């Protein structure tokens, strides 16, 4: 149960979580066995709400399958308010783990550890509701649809922080690549923003034997693919980070016909909105310029997706203080590199200060032998040993934040 990771394994918090550890392991495995896709998390939401209510925590629904728990104690009207967020949706992946609690829903799987995220937060809520004393308000945010259409953005647009205002909001994600129970946290960028890139090239097609009578759309599209890579190296500072990838090219049906249309589909990843806007402008100008030079035309569509997830300095410092009071120093890491993957918690951090950090998921054998089973794969499973450490981290952070009067 990883109690060797904490500073004081005999504390009331750790003792309480140890007492209920097996119950929450079974709960996590039940969530794993019954995954639900984005915006379909009805049974998951019902179970979360029933548990919160059974512990005396008031609940409300937001964005259909989102569950909000409201816990107020002491002189809460003068106290601070903190939001703790866990995502709850699964992925359209067929599980291949052979676990006794593997998915009962064909083609659907908790392959990103959201089953563990909500269990860690529920374990913390259980302790905070039944045992903890504090002055203030804790808002438990169980968020749907992280994997598909940015449920965090939907909740914000549906009035999350107007209906349930908080002084700061936090999220934890499990992380393959660090030993189970270890905490990784730092200021600044954590996850990238995304933008879909769609480029349709239109030309005059014709016989492959007579390309001089055509405008070769395949050649033009190929020039665009190569040209796009110059944007990163020659238009933004070497101190900034961005990635353009073309992942699909569609055009033509025969080896002896030059098509009159070729479509490119790709993605842009970035950490800075100004860098995003500059690159988007260059993508459009470069594609149109290359097409004009060859006598073709194009349509460029750039569709913004998730925005970057960027931690706020002050709120990250508060979280670090809380973590350092709980976790032994050798199990805390301050140097994790930002990821070009995307996470919709950025929409919450855009509206409210806070931080996003990680808890290691690897067993000792996986980590030492580099046998990494990655997120979003059919063999991934959340590490149940993290329920205690993650629940304790959540509870300790909430109590530390509410006691911090600055």
Round to whole Å and give the CA distance between 89 and 11: 33
Catalytic residue (one of 41, 49, 87, 89)? 89
Q: Is 376 annotated as contributing to ligand binding? A: yes
Round to whole Å and give the CA distance between 252 and 154: 39
Q: Is 352 annotated as contributing to ligand binding? A: no
**Token output for 288:** 């149109």
- Are 136 and 60 contacting, i.e. CB atoms less than 8 angstroms apart? no
Q: Is 324 annotated as contributing to ligand binding? A: no
In the annotation, is 89 catalytic?
A: yes
Q: Is 298 annotated as contributing to ligand binding? A: no
Catalytic residue (one of 87, 146, 167, 182)? 146
Sign of CA dihedral 339, 340, 343, 345: positive
Residues in Cβ contact with 143 at an 8 Å cutoff, skipping those fewer than 6 apart: 66, 85, 86, 87, 88, 151, 152, 155
Closest CA to 113 of 29, 186, 190, 236: 29
For residue 252, is it left (φ>0), alpha (ψ between -120 and 50) or beta?
Answer: left
In the annotation, is 98 catalytic?
A: no
DSSP 294-331: HT-EEEEEEEE-PPPEEE-HHHHHHHHHHHHHHB-GGG
Round to whole Å and give the CA distance between 97 and 380: 7
Q: What is the largest CA-CA distance in the chain?
A: 83
CB neighbour class for 72 (10 Å; exposed up to 12, middle 13-18, buried from 19): middle
Q: Is 114 annotated as contributing to ligand binding? A: yes
H/E stretch holding 140 reads strand 136-143
Residues in Cβ contact with 303 at an 8 Å cutoff, skipping those fewer than 6 apart: 195, 196, 198
Closest CA to 384 of 110, 150, 193: 110
| 298: Cα separation from own chain's centroid | 34
For residue 159, is it left (φ>0), alpha (ψ between -120 and 50) or beta?
Answer: left
Q: Where are the alpha helices (DSSP H) in 189-272?
A: 217-235
- Are 220 and 262 contacting, i.e. CB atoms less than 8 angstroms apart? yes
**Which residues are tagged catalytic?**
89, 146
Please enumerate, by residue number, every residue annotated as part of a binding site for Mn(2+). Answer: 112, 114, 147, 173, 376
Please enumerate, by residue number, every residue annotated as part of a binding site. Answer: 112, 114, 147, 173, 376
């Amino acid at each position: 149960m990883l109690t060797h990771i904490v500073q004081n394994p005999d504390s009331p918090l750790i003792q309480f979580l140890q007492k209920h550890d097996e119950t929450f392991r079974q709960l996590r495995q039940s969530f794993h066995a019954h995954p639900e896709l984005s915006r379909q998390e009805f049974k998951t939401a019902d179970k979360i709400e029933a548990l919160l209510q059974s512990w005396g925590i008031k609940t409300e629904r937001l964005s259909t399958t989102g569950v909000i728990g409201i816990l107020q104690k002491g002189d809460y009207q003068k106290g601070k308010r903190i939001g703790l967020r866990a995502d709850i949706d699964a992925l359209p992946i067929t599980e291949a783990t052979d676990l006794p609690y593997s998915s009962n829903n064909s083609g659907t799987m908790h392959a990103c550890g959201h089953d563990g995220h909500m269990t860690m937060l529920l374990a913390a809520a259980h302790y905070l509701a039944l045992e903890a004393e504090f002055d203030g308000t804790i808002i438990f945010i169980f968020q749907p649809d992280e994997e598909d259409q940015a449920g965090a953005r939907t909740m914000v647009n549906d009035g999350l922080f107007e209906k349930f205002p908080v002084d700061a909001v936090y999220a934890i994600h499990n992380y393959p690549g660090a030993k189970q129970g270890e905490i990784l946290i730092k200021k600044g960028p954590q996850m990238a923003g995304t933008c879909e890139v769609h480029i349709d090239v239109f030309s005059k097609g014709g016989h492959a034997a007579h390309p001089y009578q055509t405008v070769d759309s395949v050649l033009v599209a190929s020039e665009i693919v190569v040209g796009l890579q110059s944007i990163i190296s020659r238009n933004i500072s070497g101190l900034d980070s961005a990635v353009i990838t073309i992942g699909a090219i569609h055009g033509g049906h025969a080896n002896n016909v030059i098509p009159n249309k070729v479509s490119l589909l790709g993605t842009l990843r970035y950490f800075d909105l100004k860098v995003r806007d500059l690159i988007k402008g260059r993508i459009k100008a470069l594609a149109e310029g290359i097409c004009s030079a060859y006598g073709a035309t194009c349509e460029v569509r750039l569709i913004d997706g998730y925005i970057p997830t960027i931690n706020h300095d002050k709120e990250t410092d508060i979280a670090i203080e809380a973590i350092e009071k709980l976790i032994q120093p050798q199990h805390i890491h301050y140097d994790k590199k930002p990821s070009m993957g995307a996470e919709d918690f950025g929409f919450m951090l855009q509206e409210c200060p806070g931080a996003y950090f990680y808890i290691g998921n690897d067993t000792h054998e996986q980590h030492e032998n580099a046998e990494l089973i990655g997120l979003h794969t059919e063999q991934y499973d959340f590490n149940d040993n993290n329920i205690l450490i993650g629940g304790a981290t959540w509870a300790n952070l909430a109590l530390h934040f509410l006691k911090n009067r600055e």
